[in-house]
Chain A
């Protein structure tokens, strides 16, 4: 069963939505497996000033997205890249063992959005 914190985040997910002029977008997962996440980030002076997500998936997937967005917001890129799946699960008070892999994609989606941002920066230079 889900921890209280998972239920809480699932019930009131933070930062749901899209950033129309996002600096980086990261999409992971596969709807056939039941989970897909898209993360949007806005970066200013190396800091994630805004993080938003859209998620197709189960309760765990929505809670994971929500907590990752909270953990990343206000962090520097270096700090955000250090967020791991384990940290996310721990922050949520644990996840059911069978959901540890498939639904815990939030950190990956965030990292992908940061990579997207960094790639775009390179092009600009």
Chain B
């Protein structure tokens, strides 16, 4: 059966060039920490990858550290910066729509005596830089704001937030897992002290990520007891993963412009045509200040997991922020924070496009989506009620 993949925020396939370099590196077994030939060869590959990651985000290679995932990078930044700056203060500023790999470490820090201010966000999920400024205290040691949301696609104004943070001498961490490889990132322009990346969301392998740490940032290691990564992240390097990540970054740097040029019009078509086809559908997140490959909607009267499964039956992979889709059975904290009614939030669906999606894929989705929504609505007692009320009002 034809499969169409619209869940590039969950993960992506490997880019052919990444596949190729992984296969050709399979016999590279040396330990990069050893000084003989095998080790030197491994070290060379490791450092090449570091340079490729650095180039994608305009950092210097000494500022790039490899980890096991975006979640590890976020954990490291939050816990590492907070603990290293305890002498200065214990106050952290965060957005309420961060990924759980930020929110959970923050909760742990709160239990350890740190205090966290969660900023308000507007209906699109944007943090007002002035609110950041207002929340800064003399004990503030860390501000953490995502670059973009994986759930609603909204891009934050990090440049300005970063400027305030810099002026106040406070570290700014940005979770860029949703945006890296799909949206241009320049750590110099964004004024961040640290930035988390993950390879598998932009055609790299799973199980490898990296953390950019700006020179001079005070941060403790998370995993200690080894000389790897300048002694800041212990553990024998995931060499193959790292090589794959480097290649994914090099490819993204070269191709991103083309990808955006091709994918954005496809995405825009979804944003235009879905609400035109389906009544009572609502775009979530910012209409323009959003990831170019991302679109997310809530459909009234239906539940997202059921919609996702019916789409799957038609060969379409998508995501949802509904309560039933999440393991915790709680509806998305992001949709809640931007003020979406909890019942409407149940009808959440997310389509994230990738480099291989075509105009045809979009047409296929658009022919399948509306009938599925209609089928679920015909089953829904909430839709029943709506139609009856509409009839009464209309006379």
Contact = CB atoms under 8 A, between A and B. Distances in A.
Contacts of B382: 31, 36, 56
Main secondary structure of the interface of A (DSSP, over half): mixed
Contact of A62 (B379, B381, B384): B379
A11 interface: yes
Contact of A37 (B313, B323, B381): B381
Nearest to A34: B323
A31 B379 contact: no
A54 B385 CA distance: 11
A125 interface: no
B306 A32 contact: no
Interface in A17-60: 18, 27, 31-38, 54-60
Contact of A34 (B327, B346, B378, B381): B346
A13 interface: yes
A59 B325 CA distance: 10
Interface in B47-87: none
Nearest to A101: B329
Nearest to A32: B342
B313 A11 contact: yes
B379 A54 contact: yes
A81 interface: no
A60 B322 CA distance: 14
Interface residues of B, number: 24
A58 B305 contact: yes
A56 B301 contact: yes
Nearest to B313: A11
Given A57-B306, A58-B303, A61-B303, A103 B324 contact: yes
A18 B379 contact: no
B309 interface: yes
B314 to A, nearest CB: 11
A10 B378 contact: no
A38 B381 contact: yes
Interface in B344-395: 346, 378-384
Given A16-B379, A61-B303, A98-B327, A31 B384 contact: no
B309 A56 contact: no
B150 interface: no
Nearest to A102: B329
Count chain B CB atoms within 10 A of each CB in A32, A59, A102, A103 and give the residue with the most.
A59
B242 interface: no
B274 to A, nearest CB: 20
The residue in A32, A38, A58, A103 that gathers the most chain B C-beta atoms within 10 A of its C-beta is A58
Given A54-B380, A57-B303, 19 more contacts: A10-B309, A16-B378, A27-B381, A31-B343, A31-B382, A32-B343, A33-B323, A34-B322, A35-B324, A54-B381, A55-B381, A56-B382, A57-B324, A58-B306, A58-B324, A59-B305, A59-B309, A61-B303, A62-B306
18 contacts: A18-B384, A32-B342, A32-B343, A34-B322, A34-B323, A34-B331, A36-B381, A38-B381, A54-B384, A55-B381, A56-B380, A57-B306, A57-B324, A58-B322, A59-B324, A62-B306, A98-B329, A103-B324
Interface of B: 301-303, 305-306, 309, 313, 322-325, 327, 329, 331, 342-343, 346, 378-384
List 8 A-B pairs, minimum CB-CB distance, nearest first. Answer: A58-B324, A58-B305, A54-B381, A34-B323, A38-B381, A56-B380, A31-B343, A32-B342
